């Protein structure tokens, strides 16, 4: 566990690389990228298990885009806590191909492993999205996500496009839309 990904390995919002638009991945994927994906999954899983998070000093997170490790390639991982463990998603070259009309927001505010501060405001997100992309072997996959998982996909895909979650918050009226969108 000595080469485990640590919180300090994740780029801070001040790092200009987070504003890069990541490049499409070609297949077969490089071994180094597969290793990074496995490290991301390990970090995200451990960060959501209280004892592990404390033991390794990990900030809790459920998603990570490659650019957050300084890798400008279009892949992301999401480790979503469910009743009996975790559902793990890895998607390469993801695209949102459809979305709901309904918008939602995270009531206590969206967070990000690259943002080490509280950010007040509403980040409007689609309540449901369908994401298409590829698995690590280059097979096409399609994921239908709703609620919290849909927000995670939108947040991570934003990273691949150089967008931070707080870019969606109206600076003049941070809680704009509070009555139009559903809080989750």
Q: For every residue of the chain, which 3-state class applies, written as one string?
A: CCCCCCHHHCCCCCCHHHHCCCECCCCCCCHHHHHHHHHHHHHHHHHCCHHHHHHHCCCCCCEEEHHHHCCCECEEEEEEEECCEEEEEEEEEEEEEEECCCEEECCCCCCECCECCCCCCCCCEECEEEEEEECCCCCEEEEEEEHHHHHHHHHHHHHHCCCCHHHHCCCCCCCCCCCCCEEC
Specify the pLDDT at position 172: 96
Specify the pLDDT at position 4: 85
Specify the pLDDT at position 120: 93
- Average pLDDT for the chain: 96
In this structure, what are the phi and psi dihedrals at residue 90, rounded to the nearest 5 degrees? -125, 125
Q: Which domains does the chain have, with CATH numbers?
A: 22-183 (3.90.45.10)
Annotation marks residue 156 as catalytic: yes
Specify the pLDDT at position 3: 73
Q: Which residues, other chains included, contact 170 with Cβ-Cβ below 8 Å and sequence gap of 6+? A: 121, 122, 176, 177
Exactly one of 30, 32, 52, 156 is catalytic; name it. 156
Low-confidence ranges of the chain (pLDDT < 70): 1-2
Is this structure's pTM higher than 0.75?
yes
Specify the pLDDT at position 1: 41
């Amino acid at each position: 566990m000595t080469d485990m990904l640590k919180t300090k390995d994740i780029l801070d919002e001040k790092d200009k690389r987070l504003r890069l638009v990541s490049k499409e991945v070609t297949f077969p994927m490089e071994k180094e990228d597969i290793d990074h994906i496995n490290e991301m999954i390990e970090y995200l899983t451990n960060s959501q298990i209280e004892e592990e998070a404390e033991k390794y000093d990990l900030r809790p997170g459920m998603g990570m885009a490659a650019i957050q490790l300084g890798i400008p390639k279009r892949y992301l991982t999401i480790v979503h806590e469910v009743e009996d463990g975790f559902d793990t998603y890895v998607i390469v070259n993801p695209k949102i191909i459809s979305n709901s009309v309904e918008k939602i927001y995270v009531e206590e505010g969206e967070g990000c492993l690259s943002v080490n501060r509280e950010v007040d405001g509403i980040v409007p997100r689609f309540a449901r999205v369908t994401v298409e992309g590829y698995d690590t072997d280059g097979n096409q996959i399609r994921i239908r996500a709703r609620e919290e998982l849909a927000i995670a996909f939108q947040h991570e895909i934003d990273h691949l496009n150089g967008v931070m979650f707080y870019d969606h918050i109206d600076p003049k009226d941070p809680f704009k839309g509070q009555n139009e969108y559903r809080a989750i």
